[in-house]
A = this chain, B = another copy of it.
Amino acid sequence: MFKPIFLATSLVLLNAQAMANNVILIIGDGMDDQQISIARNYLQGAQGQLVLDKMPVRGSVKVITVDEDNPSKKVYVADSANSASSIATGVNTSRGRISSTAKTNQHPVTIMELAKAKGLATGVVSTASVTDATPAAFISHSKHRGCEGPEQMEPGKLFYGMYKLDCDSDGRANGGKGSIAEQIVMGSTDVVLGGGLKHFDQESDYDSEHLLTKARVNGFSVLQDAQDLENIEGDRLLGLFSPSTMPVIWQGTKGAKAEKINGDLKAFSCEPNLGFNGMPTLQTMTEKALNTLARNDDGFILMVESASIDKQSHYRNPCGHIGELKQLDETVQFVLDFAKSHPDTLVLVTADHGHAAQIVPAGSLFGGQSTSLGRVALVDTPEGSQMAINYATSEGQAEEHTGVNVPIFGNDVAEGLVPSNLEQTDIFSIMKGYLDL
């Protein structure tokens, strides 16, 4: 350890000369204040504190989405693609777009591209596929989040069976950048860890070379399980630990989720999800990424996404999103400790958009049972009470996002950099300014 023997002002100057600045940005997908309150109640008790709660800087972030056909028109609810693009590029766009502009389909430069051009190391970690919207916006450009791998680049492919993708016009045969997976293996990002193997375990739609071969040729060590993550070193790492989204750590007792009220609701608590066995945790992936990136003398930027807060709220699975937020909170503690021993590290934690779940009274405020027509989960909390969670934005298979402001948290380095109220594009500017890009 460096031992300070100078006055504080001298020390600051010395550090500025000796060390480069780093940024660690953690995104809890869908992690609005309801999600944080739900997780706190379960994990720490209503009066307890998450690691997030102890962070010294806190602000509120406006999430701005524009209409694809008329970009001057506002849309009041975002998806992860456009909101991550706002943070990654400083430019607001329309839903579904990956760091590309609404209507005009331009590719604004990402914070990762700016960092790489200045010699910084760059990385992303996610519990989703690394080709999923949030990581994709930091390390690729695409007309649509659905263009994840070679398979989707063929004309006429559907996005989750809902509507036709238009990926082929972004294909390399048409002068485009190709699928998100191909952009990752051909690109400059140093560390890419998460799920999504299925999008890489394919041949390129352009030159028929296997994407994992391309990755190795381009200098990546390819990791496929927790042992690889522990044992394999390299300046460039591509870790793909599950076919698509990584399994979550928790589930409701015997798989219980929220359901429609039909008589008395049956309370449940959370238990380990056996499907997670053998997976690396978000913290372990983040630790590996930091150890790798911190070797670069010119500093680094790392984006870490806890993806399944969103995905499990879509599925009305409270233990899924509580467990995922637990992973995020533990990772935040690890990152704050890292920043203590690397004092020029700006740590920001935020969400991309709001989500459906709401804490509602376990019995109605007006007497009698809850009468929500949505799905309700009654969760037994470790502090001995019951928390009712309402998911009531959709009758369909998945809940909707909401248009609420989301929180941002910062470590002490963020003091004076993060105002009490900002837009997601300001996060881009704050990171760019701090890294002097």
Contact = CB atoms under 8 A, between A and B. Distances in A.
Q: Most chain-B Cβ atoms within 10 A of its Cβ — which of A47, A56, A64, A79?
A: A47
Given A163-B367, A392-B392, A358 B359 contact: no
A365 B359 CA distance: 23
A106 interface: no
A366 B398 contact: yes
A365 B77 contact: yes
Interface residues of A, number: 73
A216 to B, nearest CB: 37
B396 A77 contact: no
A395 B371 contact: yes
B74 A383 contact: yes
Interface in A43-68: 45-47, 49, 53-60, 62, 64, 67
A269 B384 CA distance: 45
Contact of A420 (B58, B76, B371, B421): B58
A45 B60 contact: no
Given A76-B359, A362-B76, A60 B407 contact: yes
Contacts of A162: 366-367
A311 interface: no
Copies assembled: 2
A404 interface: yes
A222 to B, nearest CB: 33
Interface string A358-399: 111110111100111110000001011101101011111110
B358 A402 contact: yes
A359 B404 contact: yes
A424 to B, nearest CB: 11
A405 interface: yes
Contacts of A381: 74
A76 B390 contact: no
Contacts of A387: 76, 403
Contact of A405 (B33, B47, B54, B367): B33
B53 A421 contact: yes
Interface stretch (A34-42, A120-128, A193-201, A238-246): A34-42
24 contacts: A37-B62, A37-B403, A37-B404, A41-B403, A46-B64, A47-B74, A56-B420, A57-B420, A58-B58, A58-B60, A79-B365, A95-B365, A354-B359, A360-B400, A360-B401, A360-B402, A365-B400, A371-B394, A372-B395, A373-B392, A387-B403, A390-B392, A392-B392, A409-B420
